[in-house]
Amino acid sequence: MCGPCASVRPLHPSGGREVVINRLAGEAVLKGAHVFSPGLLAASPGLAAGDTVAVTVALEKRPGGWAGVNRGASLTAELQAQLPGRLQLAVGVGRVTEGRRGLFRQQRGLAVEMVSRVYDIPACNGVLRGQAMLQALPCIVAAQVLDPAAGSRVLDMCAAPGGKTSMLAQLMGNSGTVVALDRTQPKVQQVQALAADWGAACITPLVADATQLYQQQQQLQQQVKLDVQPLQVDRSSSSSTASSSSSADTNNMNPSSCSSSADSQARHSISSNSSGSSSTAGSAASLSAEVAAAVQAASFDSILLDAPCSALGLKPRLLVDWSLPALQKLAAYQRALLHSAVHCLKPGGHLVYCTCTINPGENEENVRYVLDRWPQMQLAQQPLLLGGPGLVGASWLTAAEAQLVQRFDPVPGSCSRQGEDTMGFFIAKFQKTGPTE
């Protein structure tokens, strides 16, 4: 695991006091965070406010993904024997904000203030709020590559938490419109809060499942045809045809019909889409009138699709448990998003597709899919190249195409042109040269 320093600080204070946290909290600590209440799992008995504790991590176990410890458990000798791996996953030393009982009574807020971490990274949450924001280098590059013009219409299809959305607004001089979509109200509220911090009035956050944008437009077009020409077709046959056509479109869009983030968002996305109804009426109804009015076919000059992905490029990662079938289903979900993106993009407009994974099935194969599916979509030269070229292969890219995308690898020296030791990331930029169906 790469980090900003090679030295490891002492992790176990005198007395053997300890708190155990979940994996996501542990990964956050390694990136400079403190420990907040939702991440707590267990703690030594008898803790008092202000006590110094070692902070260790309990990883999920298969099957079921349970870490083997219930929230609020007392770290007795018996429980410690059941969690031997945590001693190799000590991430730092902190100071508890409350006694043991109070730590688990609260559901939110700061639980352990870190005073020493494996990697010497300070906590930056809330620092210079509304004036500066830390972002990973490839994330900054993705927004710069889209390079939206002032006064243009921009769609950010998977916007939360809003870092790239805010940067797009900044690049546009806070003029024009940035429609920022995400699937749930809490995620959209994150975007709203960040936009408010930055005074980005051009951002319009809306709740919507972006995979359904293409489906809804198709349904509306079909309905218009039926309404305008009701006497030119046999009603029974037209009803059957409309139903079968819509069903085919839905099956093409829905990952559940295919055999083939960051990753919790991706897992939620493919799970909810797989369990959702394939009824086209249900799909149309789930998009609000506000979204339908704001997001029209061929109406955006620029689109950013930072797709939910397997997040295999994120670091540090303490556990990766994606299966091949799950990765294949996720790639199908991303293609549903790409259908919507191509449909909403104006001829002459630009689409940036990016992920934080190193999996070619979600990267180069999806680029290949777009190029083969829509001849009007062509790879465009990127104005800022810091990553390395894409992967060449029969189902991936040609040598020339690989030079037009950029891939950041989390392994130093592997493929980056410069700015090595970044997270894993992939960026492709397309231009739409003409209308698409």
Residue 115 to residue 52: CA distance in whole angstroms: 9
Alpha helices in 254-305 (DSSP H): 263-275, 280-285, 289-294
Contact 112, 34 (CB under 8 A): yes
Is residue 356 among the annotated active site residues? yes
The tokens describing 102, both together, are 């109070």
Identify the DSSP state of 397: B
Catalytic position from the list 139, 309, 356, 415: 356
Residues forming the active site: 356
